[in-house]
Amino acid sequence: MSIWKNLFYGVTLAWATAAQAATFTYQGQLSDNGSPATNNYDFEFLLFDAASAGTQAGSTVSLSAVPVTDGIFQVELDFGNTFDGSDYWLEVHVRPGGDTGGYTQLLPRQYLSFNPNAQYALEAGVASSASTASTASDGPFWKLGGNTGTGSGDFIGTSDNNPLELRVNGLRVGLITAPNTGSHSPNVLFGSKLAYIDPGVVGATISGGGVVGASTCGDGTQLCVNSVFGDYATVSGGTGNYATSPAATVGGGASNTANDDHSTVAGGFANRAFYRSTVSGGFKNTARGGYAAIPGGIDNLAGGEFSFAAGRRAKVRDGDSASTYYSGDFAGDQGTFIWADSTDADLVSTGDNQFLVRASGGIWFGTDSSPSIPSGRFINTSTGGYLSTGGTWTNSSDRNRKTNFQSIDSQAVLEKVISLPILRWNYKEEDDGTLHLGPMAQDFYAAFGLGADDKHIATVDADGVALAAIQALARENQALKTKLAQLQQALQALQANQQQLLSHLQASPVEKESESREAAQ
């Protein structure tokens, strides 16, 4: 059985002068076999003038059946008019309540901080002529109403490597521990008395939060206690949050875990961040890849290095071979961005450096602040161009959006089209088997001067050139049709005359004589 921390929260005045008896409140924690004790215990309290051996001061204070709850107990101690400004140590003996056996001495003795001595100073320790507290002057103690004349060497705290503990209503609310070496900062712990900083950790911070009881959070496997296991890691608040590695941070929320060094979970519930990754909030989000990010949403996975996932059930495959979403590469699908809408289904990446969006209500891009997605459009833009839900890209061609109208010589366009080199080719970035047919942008620009430069061909320009050439061909075709009709008429006349001559040549002599007479008459 051992006491693992004793603190003096304040004292209760029970004297008016230094010669009168003094009663002060002693609050401590008692553990039994390593666990917080809860039962009635008998105590003996003895005052000594040294940390060991020494001479007992005053009489032994014996208290029976003192209730201890969850390791916490509080008693009123009165050693008479013992406190005269000297240093004293308190020795505590304990046994189970009602037991008639011997007491167990708790080691080490506890040094009495300034509180009881401050009582003495408050009354007459620094004012030998004072008979009441109201006439005492300032001295080497801290007053409830504040002090004046403090210097650079004054402080509240400990002068050894014992931690400084703060309590409210008998419960620990703050603990500041000394660094294990001079080159490290101390650990600072506030909030639930069950908040935990792993032994050996330095520079850690728990700012508050947590629950008092040992209940579990999330799926029931994680205690609702804020805990830090890494150097310079931080849990700012919330409950059941863990910062398990150096410089890891959890801002708040519940059941969040910053698993690896320099990882961050800002808040939310049941989120996890691994090596230098970030989850800003939401529910059940996991940023597993290095430098990955999830701003929020639900059930998202940023599994690849430098990846991003947001929305609902957006999944960038990770490098964990045991994962449902294993990419086959230890780095996961690197550099992939996924945004998924509210549809309750997984949207899973298929490779590195992808940009994936699921938007069942459509997508809008624009330069103004008035988005609209009419029915039948999957991607709409402020420029007027859009991709239909059927997969057709439609360019903007509204007359009201155009200016500098000029007529053209379609015949000249046709002649340029005729001389324009048309080749079959493939893009260097594509497989050799993926072939295309068309002109080069340089030749097209040189021939028609259309577009912004000689590296691109806009579909509206290619369509315009084709339509102009078609119009020229149509006019040529019409002229040819007219000429052909005229030739057909002339041919028909010639054929008629030819038929008459042939008929005449083939007539009988009698018919010819008759025809001659008729012609003579």
* CA distances for 402 relative to 250, 397, 452, 456, 457, angstroms: 55, 8, 16, 20, 19
Average pLDDT over residues 333-353: 97
Q: Greater confidence, 235 or 35?
A: 235
Q: Render pLDDT for 49-68 as a digit per residue (tens, 0 to 9).
A: 998 999 999 999 999 999 98
Q: Render pLDDT for 275-302 as a digit per residue (tens, 0 to 9).
A: 999 999 999 999 999 999 999 999 999 9
Q: Are 27 and 9 in contact (CB under 8 A)?
A: yes
Q: Render pLDDT for 403-421 as a digit per residue (tens, 0 to 9).
A: 999 999 999 999 999 999 9
Residues with Cβ within 8 Å of 62's Cβ and at least 6 positions away in sequence, in order, are 42, 43, 44, 45
Q: How far apart are CA 65 and CA 427, in angstroms?
A: 90
Could you tell me how many residues make up the chain?
Answer: 521
Q: How far apart are CA 133 and CA 144, in angstroms?
A: 13
* Token code pair at residue 459: 């579909």
Q: How far apart are CA 378 and CA 387, in angstroms?
A: 6
Q: How far apart are CA 293 and CA 285, in angstroms?
A: 10
Check pLDDT > 50 for residue 262: yes
* CA distances for 516 relative to 504, 505, 512, angstroms: 11, 13, 6
Q: What is the pTM of this model?
A: 0.65
According to DSSP, residue 445 is labeled H
Confidence band of 162 (pLDDT split at 50, 70, 90): confident
Q: Are 373 and 382 in contact (CB under 8 A)?
A: no
Confidence band of 327 (pLDDT split at 50, 70, 90): very high
Q: How far apart are CA 92 and CA 101, in angstroms?
A: 16
Q: Render pLDDT for 456-470 as a digit per residue (tens, 0 to 9).
A: 999 999 999 999 999
Q: How far apart are CA 444 and CA 461, in angstroms?
A: 10
What residues form DSSP beta bridges with 514?
none
